[in-house]
Amino acid sequence: MCRFVLRHLSDVVSRRPGNFPGSLLSLQSLGKGIGIAITLAVLGTPAHADETHTLRLSSWGAPTAPQVSEFTAAFKTEVEKASGGRISVQTFPAGSLVNERAVPSAVQSGVVDISLTTMGSWASIVPTAGALNTVFFRPTEKNFDKVIGPGTPLFKALDDDMAQHGTRLLAALYNGPVVVVSKMPLKVPADFKGKTVRVFDRLTAEIVQSLKGAPSTIEVADVYPALQRGAVQAAIGGLEGAIGLKEYEVGKYLLATNGQFGLLMTGYVMNKKSLDALPPDLQKIVLESGYKASRETTIAMIAAYEKELHQMEEHGMTVTTLQPGTPEYQGFTDALASLAKTQEARFPAELVRQVLDAQH
């Protein structure tokens, strides 16, 4: 088609004015020829129907954790199938492309197109993410999808908020309550006093400070050697990561916080420019594939939680689960009450109301 257009233009331009009754006719013919050529070029060029796109998807932590293995497999399969091969997804596991703490800057700058992230990583710049990264946001496994699953007002609010920072939300995942792996029993608030505890975001740091411990920010992949060397006496994190990274080898006690430390919520976010650069039909496929994969992954993660607690016991750990109505549970409620009020005061009252109401 391009060769035809160039040839047509060449034929028009090469004609001498003497071949026409006058110079006006020459200009008219040239204009007509250019118009025909442009029209043919536009009509004859497909609208990128056969153009292919590659999306780079990064994750960190244990590759066997459901938030990684389940989501990346489901998302990649769905996107490539639904797009008819117009999109291919390259996966980069275990922080090989982007580590946990670098995700926000890496996604915003386009270093990676899509990445696993902790929602707490966005708390300082995305108000809605900040409100979810609190001790007063604690949906259960039974109502998580209704609270912040795809299509819910809270999911949309978080997505809209993140879009203001060059990012789109593909998935919000239920990781369950955080757990504390430690070298000594940590069953009541007083046990944390004076202990150096690994944290991974602002919320977990504030919790440790409220319990009079010393927070230490450490990448998930470095938790094992930090516990092994005694650089920290305990580590807050997700249960899947603790199992996948074999933390039971270096910590013999586990505290399942059962919502008292808030909820560990991860998700997958995408660079907004990368999404907007796709044709509209492919944008829809990417978003819908993310939503579908998130539901499948959350189901898998919920099913895995209790099983994983038993696995920790089988590995020789002493597991303590905080149960509502017990003195231990109430002790943490009282110890963190001041923090809850401080956190609520940081956000607009309407946002706090939306977060609290969504959980009922």
pLDDT digits (tens, 9 = 90+) for 118-157: 999 999 999 999 999 999 999 999 999 999 999 999 999 9
Residue 48, pLDDT score: 55
CB 262 within 8 A of CB 159: no
- Residue 196, pLDDT above cutoff 60: yes
pLDDT at 241: 85
Tell me, yes or no, whether 215 and 345 share the same domain. yes
Residue 191 DSSP symbol: G
Q: What is the mean pLDDT of residues 49-64?
A: 91
Does 198 share its domain with 234? yes
Q: Are residues 151 and 251 in the same domain?
A: no
What is the pLDDT at residue 6? 38
The partner residues of 197 in beta bridges, in order of sequence, read 215, 234
Tell me: do 299 and 334 sit in the same domain: no
Residues 74, 170 within the same domain? yes
Same domain, 215 and 310: yes
Give the global pTM.
0.81
User: What is the distance, to the nearest Å, from the Cα of residue 118 to the centroid of all Cα atoms in its chain?
Assistant: 6
In this prediction, residue 7 has a pLDDT band, given cuts at 50, 70 and 90, of very low
Q: Say whether both 257 and 272 belong to one domain.
A: no
Query: Looking at the structure, do residues 113 and 228 belong to the same domain, yes or no?
Result: no
Flag whether pLDDT at 15 surpasses 60.
no
Residues 157 and 279 in one domain: yes
- pLDDT value of residue 220: 87
- Please determine, for residue 221, whether its predicted confidence score (pLDDT) is greater than 90: no
Q: Same domain, yes or no, for 193 and 92?
A: no
152 plus 297 within the same structural domain: yes
Same domain, 206 and 98: no
Buried b (16+ CB within 10 A) or exposed e, 193-231: eebbbbbbbbbbbbbbebbebbbbebbbbebbebbeeee
Domain count of the fold of the chain: 3
| Percent of the chain topping pLDDT 70 | 86
**CATH number, position 162:** 3.40.190.170
- Who wins on pLDDT, 196 or 241? 196
Distance CA 211, CA 291 (A): 37
Domain that holds residue 239: 179-262+306-358
Angle at 272 between CA 105 and CA 70, to 5 degrees: 80
pLDDT value at 109 more than 80: yes
Helices (H), the chain: 2-14, 23-44, 66-82, 103-109, 127-132, 144-148, 153-163, 202-210, 223-229, 239-244, 272-276, 280-314, 327-335, 337-345, 349-358
Radius of gyration from C-alpha coordinates of the chain: 27
pLDDT tens readout for residues 306-334? 899 999 999 999 999 999 999 999 999 99
pLDDT at res. 244: 86
Look over the chain and give the mean of its residue pLDDT values, rounded to a whole number.
88
Q: What is the mean pLDDT of residues 255-263?
A: 95
Please choose, from the candidates 34, 68, 275, 277, the residue with its C-alpha nearest in 3D space to the C-alpha of residue 76: 68
The pLDDT value recorded for residue 225 is 98
CA atoms within 13 A on the CB side of 77: 9
**CB-CB neighbours of 295 under 10 Å:** 15
